[in-house]
Amino acid sequence: MSESLSQVDPVQESVSDTEVEEDCMNLDIETLQDQGINAADIQRLKAAGICTVKAVQMSTKRMLGRIKGFSEAKVDKLKEAANKLLDSGFITGLEYAVRRQRVVKLSTGAVELDKLLGGGIQTMAITEAFGEFRTGKTQIAHTLCVTCQLPVNMGGGHGKAAFIDTEGTFRPDRIKAIAERYELDPDLVLDNLIYARAFNSEHQMELITLVAAKFAEEKGVYKLLVIDSIISLFRTDYCGRGELSERQQKLNNMLSRLLKISEEFNVAVFITNQICSDPGAGISFVADPKKPVGGHILAHASTTRLSLRKGRGEQRVAKMFDSPDMPESEAVYALSEGGVIDSKE
Same domain? 63 vs 118? no
Same domain? 266 vs 182? yes
- Computed over every residue of the chain, the mean pLDDT equals 88
Domain membership of residue 93 (yes or no) is no
> What is the residue-wise DSSP string for 172-229?
HHHHHHHHHHTT--HHHHHHTEEEEE--SHHHHHHHHHHHHHHHHHTTTTEEEEEEE-
Q: What is the pLDDT of residues 127-142, one digit of tens each?
A: 999 999 889 999 999 9
Same domain? 114 vs 65? no
Q: What is the pLDDT of residues 189-215, one digit of tens each?
A: 999 999 999 999 999 999 999 999 999
- Kindly state the helix (H) or strand (E) to which residue 304 belongs, with its residue range: strand 304-310
Same domain? 81 vs 135? no
Asked if 323 and 304 count as a contact pair (C-beta separation under 8 A), the reply is: yes
Residue range 165-181: average pLDDT?
Answer: 96
Q: What is the pLDDT of residues 25-78, one digit of tens each?
A: 578 899 999 999 999 999 999 988 898 999 999 999 999 999 998 999 999 999
Residue 88: asked if its preceding bond is cis (omega within 30°), the reply is no
- Domain at 239, CATH number: 3.40.50.300
pLDDT of the residue at 19: 47
Distance from C-alpha of 305 to C-alpha of 321, rounded to nearest angstrom: 5
pLDDT of 86 over the 90 cut: no
3-state secondary structure 7-31: HCCCCCCCCCHHHHHHHHHCCEHHH
> Of the given ranges (15-24, 266-275, 336-345), which has the lowest mean pLDDT?
15-24
- Domain at 79, CATH number: 1.10.150.20
Burial of 281 (0-12, 13-18, 19+ CB in 10 A): middle
- Kindly state the helix (H) or strand (E) to which residue 129 belongs, with its residue range: strand 125-131
Q: What is the pLDDT of residues 7-33, one digit of tens each?
A: 446 555 434 444 444 555 578 899 999
Same domain? 165 vs 266? yes
Domain membership of residue 10 (yes or no) is no
Same domain? 68 vs 153? no
Q: Give the other-Cβ count within 10 Å of 67's Cβ.
A: 17
pLDDT of the residue at 344: 82
Domain membership of residue 141 (yes or no) is yes
Cα angle 15, 19, 24; round to 5: 125
Same domain? 39 vs 181? no
Picking from 85, 114, 132, the residue at the C-terminal end of a domain is 85
Picking from 59, 85, 111, the residue at the C-terminal end of a domain is 85
- Kindly state the helix (H) or strand (E) to which residue 160 belongs, with its residue range: strand 160-165
Same domain? 235 vs 305? yes
Confidence of residue 239 (pLDDT cuts 50, 70, 90): confident
Domain membership of residue 283 (yes or no) is yes
Same domain? 151 vs 177? yes
Same domain? 67 vs 192? no
Domain membership of residue 90 (yes or no) is no
**How many domains is the chain partitioned into structurally?**
2
Same domain? 203 vs 299? yes
Distance from C-alpha of 88 to C-alpha of 81, rounded to nearest angstrom: 12
Backbone φ and ψ for 197, nearest 5 degrees, come out as -100, 120
Same domain? 313 vs 170? yes
Asked if 234 and 247 count as a contact pair (C-beta separation under 8 A), the reply is: yes
User: What residues make up the domain containing 225?
Assistant: 103-342
pLDDT of the residue at 25: 57
Picking from 85, 112, 131, the residue at the C-terminal end of a domain is 85
173: CB partners within 8 A, 6+ apart: none
